[in-house]
């Protein structure tokens, strides 16, 4: 099964116990939701890292807990502020028909067009909050800035997503904008259009 994450039940929650787990290559976490009891669980650190590389830190995973599989969405990944290693993870049980609310990373495309041009690319929104069913959740929302001219911007309202996905951010919020450095006096002509493209990646 795709994006399978194997977990074991752990006995109790304490700073000492969590430290012991992390020292042995395990990551503590919790699994909750669907009117079932909150469960204290643990994951293998290396395996968890591989799954997150595939799903992202807000993706959907299949949790194998003592042989029983449950579908869950990653709600929070906590990291050490210095080493950036994962220290804890929260997962929420879901089903494939319910509407879920989560965040999707924004990935810029076309930054290479502005290298050595004195143009400063300013990304002000790194994640977009969306609402949809699990099977329509994209891993990323891609924003094409290759035709974006100086002093122009792309807002949340410019992003194009499928009808099955609702964006919850303020539509007037700036996602990305371009400005020239003070040392660059060269101006570019405004393009005919600004394009913001939604990812085709569906989990």
> What are the tens digits of pLDDT across the range 134-162?
989 998 999 999 888 765 899 999 998 98
Domain with CATH 2.40.240.10 in the chain: 4-95
The mean pLDDT value for 47-61 works out to 91
Give pLDDT tens digits for 68-91.
Answer: 999 999 999 999 999 999 999 999
Per DSSP (E only), the strands in 110-186 are 119-123, 127-132, 141-144, 153-155, 166-167, 174-180
Instruction: Tell me what pLDDT residue 93 has.
Output: 95
The mean pLDDT value for 16-31 works out to 89
Query: What CATH number has the domain spanning 4-95?
Result: 2.40.240.10
Pick from 47, 31, 48: nearest CA to 39: 31
Report whether pLDDT(193) > 60.
no
Report whether pLDDT(203) > 70.
no
Asked if the 101-180 domain carries CATH number 3.40.50.10490, the reply is no
Report whether pLDDT(130) > 70.
yes
Instruction: Tell me what pLDDT residue 137 has.
Output: 92
Are 100 and 131 in contact by the 8 Å Cβ rule? The answer is: yes
Domain with CATH 2.170.120.20 in the chain: 101-180
Average pLDDT of the chain to the nearest whole number: 85
Report whether pLDDT(23) > 70.
yes
Q: Is the Cα torsion angle 177, 178, 182, 185 positive or negative in sign?
A: negative
Report whether pLDDT(6) > 90.
yes
Report whether pLDDT(186) > 90.
no
């Amino acid at each position: 099964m795709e994006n399978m994450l194997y977990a074991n039940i752990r006995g109790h929650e304490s700073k000492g116990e969590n430290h012991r787990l992390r020292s042995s290559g395990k990551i503590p976490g919790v699994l909750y939701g669907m009117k079932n009891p909150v469960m204290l669980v643990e994951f293998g650190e290396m395996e968890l890292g591989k799954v997150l590389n595939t799903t992202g830190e807000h993706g959907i995973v299949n949790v194998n807990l003592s042989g029983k599989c449950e579908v869950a969405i990653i709600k929070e990944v906590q990291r050490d502020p210095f080493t950036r290693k994962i220290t804890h993870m929260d997962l929420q049980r879901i089903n494939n028909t319910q509407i879920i609310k989560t965040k999707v990373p924004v990935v810029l495309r076309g930054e290479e067009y502005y290298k050595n041009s004195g143009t400063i690319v300013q990304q002000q929104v790194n994640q977009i909050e969306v609402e949809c069913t699990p099977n329509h959740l994209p891993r990323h929302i891609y924003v094409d800035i290759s035709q974006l001219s100086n002093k122009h911007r792309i807002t949340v309202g410019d992003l194009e997503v499928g009808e099955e996905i609702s964006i919850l951010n303020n539509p007037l919020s700036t996602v990305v904008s371009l400005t020239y450095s003070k040392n660059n006096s060269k101006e570019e002509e405004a393009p005919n259009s600004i394009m913001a493209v939604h990812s085709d990646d569906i989990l």
